[in-house]
Amino acid sequence: MQFPVLFHVRLLSTLICLQLLLHAGNAATIDRTSEQGEAAITDPDQECTPYDYAPVTNQMNSFPERPLQSGTPYRLTSPQTSPRSYSSSDPDCWWTYGQCTTPKLADLPPDITAAPEPSTLGYGFDDGPNCSHNAFYDFLQSQNQKATFYFIGSNVADFPLEAQRALTDGHEICAHTWSHPYMTTFASEDAFAELWYSVRMQMIKLVVGVTPTCWRPPYGDVDDRIRAIANALGLQTIMWEYDTADASVDGKTITDQTVVDNYNSFIQKAEGGAFNSTGTILLTHELNNFTMSEAVSFYPQLKSVFQYLVPVGVSLNKTQPYLETNYSLPTFEQYISVNLAPPQIQPTA
């Protein structure tokens, strides 16, 4: 039996209208106004759809462009090799140049590169918040696992409810600058701005309600000048000992398999007792689906070779992670005392 063309047109129009109505109904059930509503979204495309958050929208004129426009002409230069006139003695304690993590300037504290507790992994992720991280955070929640998240200020501005979830779930939040530059290529005032707008003037404070006291230099690029600026802002410098290279995949020199090999090599070191006396910190990222998926895939193996996976602040017994005194982290002993299951961050006053 054949139907006239007009019937098909009307039927198609009806189906399209039904799809639009169903989509509108689904959209109406999605709450993009609260952390709880945002955390309940399971479709990554919906998670990453931009939304308006009035506290940020109303204040964005007080914040710089993304990326921050530096007055330094070589702002985006990657400092992978030493300047021709730079001394081999590394007078500036430049990590990228010489992997120096003990400052040479007086009164600057050393960088944190390892978890001091034995058989302990300082567990954390750079470059968040990622808009599609709900499945990853759900996984961490299902394992009762807390971590340290190093948030980029402009990412917090773009996806503020995702940033709020980190605190709600009991994770530790550190700063990762405003726009993720090579900090040693910045003039001092621009380097100051990268930290100031992220922490103190105050995207993380504006959105999440807390002021971090820790930061991680993008690419590990820091020297004593940058350390002094961070220290003046009350920020402890957190580095790492091992790198998965999960954020560096280019399909050529670094592939997905490279990351798998790096994870496996690290796990073998742990199995061999390399961290039995003093723990360590591994560089991993919340950057994209691949980096988060690899973290989930290798989590059971990391749990099997380390006695403890804890936020970096917990490994340091740093119970006051923010300037605000109404939040606290558990001590290391508190974290591991009840079936290795830590309490969530709770207000103390």
DSSP 193-239: HHHIIIIISSHHHHHHS--BSEE--GGG---HHHHHHHHHTT-EEB-
Give pLDDT, residue 265: 99
In a domain, 15, yes or no: no
Question: pLDDT of 35-69, one tens digit each?
Answer: 999 999 999 999 999 999 999 999 888 887 766 54
Alpha helices in the chain (DSSP H): 5-29, 35-39, 44-47, 54-57, 95-98, 134-142, 153-158, 160-168, 188-195, 203-208, 224-232, 256-271, 289-305, 312-315, 332-337
Residue 226's pLDDT band (cuts 50, 70, 90): very high
Question: pLDDT of 267-322, one tens digit each?
Answer: 999 999 999 999 999 999 999 999 999 999 999 999 999 999 999 999 999 999 99
In a domain, 121, yes or no: yes
With 90 as the cut, is the pLDDT of residue 254 above it? yes
Residue numbers of the domain that contains 341: 101-347
In a domain, 86, yes or no: no
In a domain, 285, yes or no: yes
Q: Do residues 275 and 306 touch, judged by C-beta distance below 8 A?
A: yes
Task: Determine the longest span between alpha carbons in the chain, in angstroms.
Answer: 90
Q: What is the average pLDDT across 248-269?
A: 97
Regarding predicted confidence, which is higher, 26 or 88?
A: 88
What is the number of domains present in the chain? Answer: 1
**Residue 94 CA, distance from chain mean position:** 23
Give pLDDT, residue 68: 55
In a domain, 258, yes or no: yes
Cα pseudo-dihedral 210, 215, 216, 221, rounded to 10: 140
In a domain, 323, yes or no: yes
Q: What is the CATH number of the domain that holds 288?
A: 3.20.20.370
Give pLDDT, residue 28: 52
Average confidence score pLDDT of the chain: 87
Which residues are part of the catalytic machinery? 126, 285
Q: Do residues 215 and 199 touch, judged by C-beta distance below 8 A?
A: yes
Nearest to 141 by CA among 164, 169, 174: 169
| Cα radius of gyration rounded to whole Å, the chain | 23
In a domain, 14, yes or no: no
With 70 as the cut, is the pLDDT of residue 12 above it? no
In a domain, 50, yes or no: no
Give pLDDT, residue 15: 39
